[in-house]
Structure 1
Amino acid sequence: MSSGRVRASIPTRADRVLDQIRLDILNGQLEPGARLGFADLGARYAVSTGVLREVLPRLVEQGLATSEPQLGFRVIEVSVDRLNQLTEARVAIETLVTRTAVADGDLAWEADVVAKHHALARLTEATSAGQIQADWIAAHEQFHLAILSGCANSYLFDIAHRLRSVAEVYRCWSAPEQEIAHRDIAAEHRGLMDAAISRQADLAAERTDAHIRRTTELLIAAQAARHPAS
């Protein structure tokens, strides 16, 4: 199976605006619960209401926004309870998709995983404490999706992709200095790559489980530190 799950067509104006808004949600520029009004977004991204009417429902489909009658569009809300539920869903789905990817992926998939890991590793080395760069966010997503893309079942892949996108919103809680002190993120990613391309399905699933849960633990700890109980 080919590992390429990218749009073959030339990106439209709506595609580009979607990518811009999506990145701003993931890096915290548009905070959880923030209203996504047509006037504000139109001014911020220099785009027409017509384009936004196409883009915002796509954000809802990706799980990054909500829409309610009379209330319009908003960035999704976040909470510890929601994160815990999301984590259990991700562990169940991503470990399954990872196992399937290890079984289904071909040599092109292996090469793509290695290439995406190399790009992420270089950016991880260059990323300074306290600064999560847009390029790192994109490379991080592409590395994990490269592993999952070996799965031949497109329904499972799409579910895993959507859950990963929602989870990225919780980076608004992240404390980079805490990650440096309490985990070796580069080693975790390298371990995931090694297990995947060496076709060790059980190990790859085990490391995926641990990687997801460790991220959740650190995010909840960071949120607790920001808002200590009175």
Structure 2
Amino acid sequence: MPSPTLTDKVAKMIRQDILVGNFAPSEKLVVAELKKRYDVGASPIREALVQLSWSKFVVVEPQKGCWVAPISASELADLHESLHVITPVLLKQAINHGDESWELELLTAYHKLSRLKSMQEEYDWMEWQDRQRHFHECLLNAATSKIMLSFFADLLNQVQRYNFHAINQGLNISSFDIDEYEAIVKCVLAKDTDSAVSKYERYISNMVLQLDQAVSPAA
């Protein structure tokens, strides 16, 4: 794997600042200010902003400038609808084509998530996001449609933005129900496709509803 370039490193830092709320949705990003913040030149800053526009974390308008991507209840509803369309297809494919190594990977991802939930002390919400995303990726990565998997990864990026925004607005991540994940895993391993799809769709709907409550005041 090639080493990350300076542009990649700068893009990662800007992305992190967006996620944790150091840059608010719709805030203008000024290259001169970013140069001082990250102690790098203008070129890697501009290249990083273009890179982040590909993943829809920022919006670049030629001759006008760059802004943190806005959030809205309508976009969140669009994300929900898109997930509703593709996740049943991907989950069915994964169950039909997944082998023992896929099942082990899924169990490991679930175990890591459940371990985080069982910790008594307050846990790192960045780690929670990483483990939650890894669970969703493992759940579907045995699917055969590479194009839909790529689209799903794009949707996860956007959902992650909304997750972090909700957390920054006070969402209590310790309230997430690990039993929902366990129920999905059990259905998947039992090859009970209809139940797995139903439970996963219900999980996504509940998640979006929770996010919408944080987004709507800002919409």
TM-score (norm 1): 0.80
Are residue 176 (structure 1) and residue 168 (structure 2) matched? no
Q: How high is the sequence identity, in percent, across the aligned residues?
A: 24
Number of residue pairs matched by the alignment: 215
Cα RMSD (Å): 2.6
SS in 2 for 1:28: coil
SS in 2 for 1:176: coil
How many Å apart are 1:160 and its aligned residue? 0.6
Decide which of 81, 87, 102 is 2:95's aligned counterpart. 102
CA distance in 1, matches of 2:35, 2:190: 48
The superposition leaves residues 102-145 of structure 1 with CA deviations (integer Å, 9 ceiling, x where unpaired) of: 2222222211111112122222334867x762111111111111
CA contact (8 A) 2:125 2:173 kept: no
CA distance in 1, matches of 2:95, 2:102: 9
The superposition leaves residues 52-89 of structure 1 with CA deviations (integer Å, 9 ceiling, x where unpaired) of: 33322222222222211223222211111221122111
CA contact (8 A) 2:72 2:215 kept: no
Decide which moves more: 11-20 or 61-70. 11-20
How do 1:1-230 and structure 2 match up within 5 A?
8-126=1-119, 133-171=125-163, 172-174=165-167, 175-177=170-172, 180=175, 184-223=176-215
CA contact (8 A) 1:91 1:208 kept: no
Decide which moves more: 79-88 or 58-67. 58-67
CA contact (8 A) 1:31 1:75 kept: yes
TM-score (norm 2): 0.83
> Unaligned 5+ residue runs, structure 1?
1-7
CA contact (8 A) 2:59 2:69 kept: yes
> Unaligned 5+ residue runs, structure 2?
none
Change over 3 Å in CA distance of 1:12–1:210 after alignment to 2:
same
CA contact (8 A) 2:71 2:215 kept: no
CA contact (8 A) 1:28 1:169 kept: no
